[in-house]
Structure 1
Amino acid sequence: MEQRMVTEQGREIAYHHTDGTGPTVVFLGGFKSDMEGTKALFLEEWARGQGRAFIRFDYSGHGVSGGEFTDGCIGDWFEDACAIIGLIKGSVVLVGSSMGGWISLLVARAMPDKVAGLVGIAAAPDFTEDGFWAGFDEVMRAKLMREGRVALPSDYGEPYIITKRLIEDGRDRLVLRDPLEVPCAVRLVQGTADTSVPVAWGTRLLEHLRCEDARLTLVKGADHSFSAPDCLPVIEQALAEVLAAADR
C-alpha cells in the first residue's frame, strides 16, 4: 500500500514499505525513474519471499511524489532518501540504481553507522559533472548559464531538462574527488553495453572506494537498465552477499 511522508524541507514523498526482518533493504532509483520499475518490483517480491523488510520510494519530482522534476537536484534527492531512511529503526542495506548509486554513497558517507551494506547497479556517482557538464560544448555551457536550463535527448522518452541548479548543486555532492570511506560490504554490478555509464566509471569507483569488501561484476552485453531476465539474478546474488556480510 502506498504511503506518504513530508520531509523537513516540505517535500511530499510517496513510498511502499514491506514488513520483515532487518536490515531493511532500501531501493534508490535513477534519474527521472520511479519506484514502479522492474528492478524495484523484483527486489520487493524477493524481499517478501525472504521475509526481509523493504522500502521503495519516489524522490520529489519523480513518479507520484510531490514537486516538479526540474526543480530538484542531487542534494534534494539525497535529503529525500535520508528522510525515508529516517523512518527505519535499525540498519539498512542500500540498493542504488544509476543516480541512486551516487545517492547511496552520499548516504553511506553521511550516516556510516546506519548503512550495513550497499549494492550499486550501474552506479553513476558525479554524473552531473563527469557526464553532463563534461559532455557540453562551450555553446551549450553558455546557454545553460544564461538561460538556466538546456534540453538533452534521452533514450527513455522525452528530453532531459538539465538545469543550472542541478549542475551547480552536483558539484557540492561529488564523491570521487576525495577519499570515500564505506565501512560495509559493497557490490557493484554493471553491463558492458551500458551507453549511459561507461564501464570505466565502475572500475574507477571500485578503485576509489576505501572498503575492505568491495567487488565489481560485469555482465557481457547488458545495457544501462540492467533489467533483463539474466541481469535480475545478478542483482539478487549481490544483495544476498551484502546481507550475509551484514548479518555476520
Structure 2
Amino acid sequence: MPKTFDHNVRRIAYDQTPGEGPGVVFLGGFKSDKEGTKALDLEAWARQQGRAYLRFDYSGHGMSSGDFLDGSIGDWTEDAHAILEAMTQGPQVLVGSSMGGWIALLLARTIPARVAGLVTIAAAPDFTEDGYWATFDESEKAMLLTEGRVERPSEYDDSPYIITRKLIEDGRKRLVLRDPLPLPFPVRFLQGTADTAVSTETAVRLLDHATGPDMRLTLVKDADHRFSTPECLLMIRRAVEEVIQRSNR
C-alpha cells in the first residue's frame, strides 16, 4: 500500500524506495499516475541499484485526494515541490514524463540546488498555451471563457480530456519557454519521432531555449508518446545512469 503525505488540504499518495543518493524522483504526465510502466520500471531498476527512488500521484491523480478538474500546473508543481522537500534529502535526479517534464523544469528553475540532474521523456513545456489554447478555434475559446471548460478527444482514453479555464490561465503564469531557462546540471531530453502529442519541434525548441553545460536531446525513430517499449525503457534507465554519473563528477 502506498504511503500518504499531507500537503495543505491535499493528501498525496507516494511509494518510496530507500537507497543511496542522489535519489531519483519520477514526475508523471497529465492524467497519469505512479503505477505507469515507466514509473514502475525505474523503481525496479532503483531497487537493483540500491538507489533512492520516489514516485507519487499529483492531487486529483491516481490515489491522491482531490478532483482532477480542480487542478492546475501550479497545484501539481506545488505537490511535487512539497513532497520532494519533505521526503528526500540533498539533490535529486528528476525524471519528468510529458507534463512531468514541464513540472521538472519549473522545479529546476525555482529550486536548482535540489536538482542533481534532469531526464525528460516527451517533455511538454507550456502545453496548455501552445498545445491547447493556440489550437482552439474561436468557438472553443469563447466556450472556455463562458462555461469554464472545453472537451478534447484523447487518444489514450475513451473519455475526452476536459480542459478547464483554470488550467489554461494558471498555465499561462508558469510558462518556461518565454524567459531564460538555465539548467546548470546534466540534462538528457528523450523524444520519439512518432509522438503525436508532443512534436519533435517542441523538443528542439526546448533544447535551443534552455542553457546549460551538459545538455543533449535524443530523438528515437518511430517511438510514440508512451515511450514504453523495452528499448525505450532501457534508454530511460541509461539516461538516468548517465546523469547520475556525470552529476557526481
Residue 170 of structure 1: aligned partner: 171
Structure 2, unaligned runs of 5 or more: none
| Counterpart for residue 3 of structure 1 | 3
TM-score (norm 2): 0.98
1:40 corresponds to 2:31 = no
Match of 1:86 in 2: 85
C-alpha deviation, 1:126, in angstroms = 0.2
Q: Percent identity?
A: 63
The residue that corresponds to 1:27 in the other structure is 26
Distance in 2, Cα, partners of 1:89 & 1:237: 23
Q: What's the C-alpha RMSD, in Å, of the aligned pairs? A: 0.6
SS across alignment from 2:4 = strand
- Structure 2: distance between partners of 1:10 and 1:185: 35
Could you tell me how far apart the structure 2 residues matched to 1:233 and 1:147 are?
44
Secondary structure at the aligned position of 2:174 is classed as coil
Amino acid at match of 1:99: M
Question: Residue type matched to 1:140 in 2?
Answer: E
Task: Spell out the pairing of 1:1-248 with structure 2 (5 A cutoff).
Answer: 1-7=1-7, 9-87=8-86, 88-157=88-157, 158-248=159-249
* 4+ aligned runs moved over 3 Å, structure 1: none
Give the secondary structure class of the aligned counterpart of 1:22: strand
Give the paired residue count.
Answer: 247
- For residues 73-117 of structure 1, the C-alpha deviation after alignment (integer angstroms, 9 at most, x for no partner) is 000000000011012111111000000000000001110111010
Following superposition, the deviation at residue 28 of structure 1 comes to 0.2
User: How many angstroms does 1:156 deviate by?
Assistant: 1.2
Whole-Å Cα distance in 2 between the matches of residues 50 and 164 of structure 1? Answer: 43
Q: Which secondary structure state, in structure 2, belongs to the residue aligned with residue 154 of structure 1? A: coil
Task: Describe the superposition over 1:152-211 as per-residue Cα deviations: whole angstroms up to 9, x where unpaired.
Answer: 100111111100000000000000001101111100001100000000000100111111
Q: CA deviation at 1:122?
A: 0.2
Q: Deviations over 1:184-239 (max 9, x none)?
A: 11000011000000000001001111111000011100000000111111111111
Once the 2 structures are TM-superposed, how far is the Cα of residue 245 of structure 1 from its aligned partner? 1.1
Separation in 2, partners of 1:136, 1:214: 33
CA distance in 1, matches of 2:45, 2:140: 44
CA distance in 2, matches of 1:167, 1:93: 28
Opposite residue 62 of structure 2, the aligned amino acid is G
Question: Displacement, 1:10?
Answer: 1.5
What's the TM-score, normalizing by structure 1?
A: 0.98
Paired letter, 2:176: V
Q: Secondary structure at the match of 2:105?
A: helix
- The one-letter code matched in structure 1 to 2:109 is R
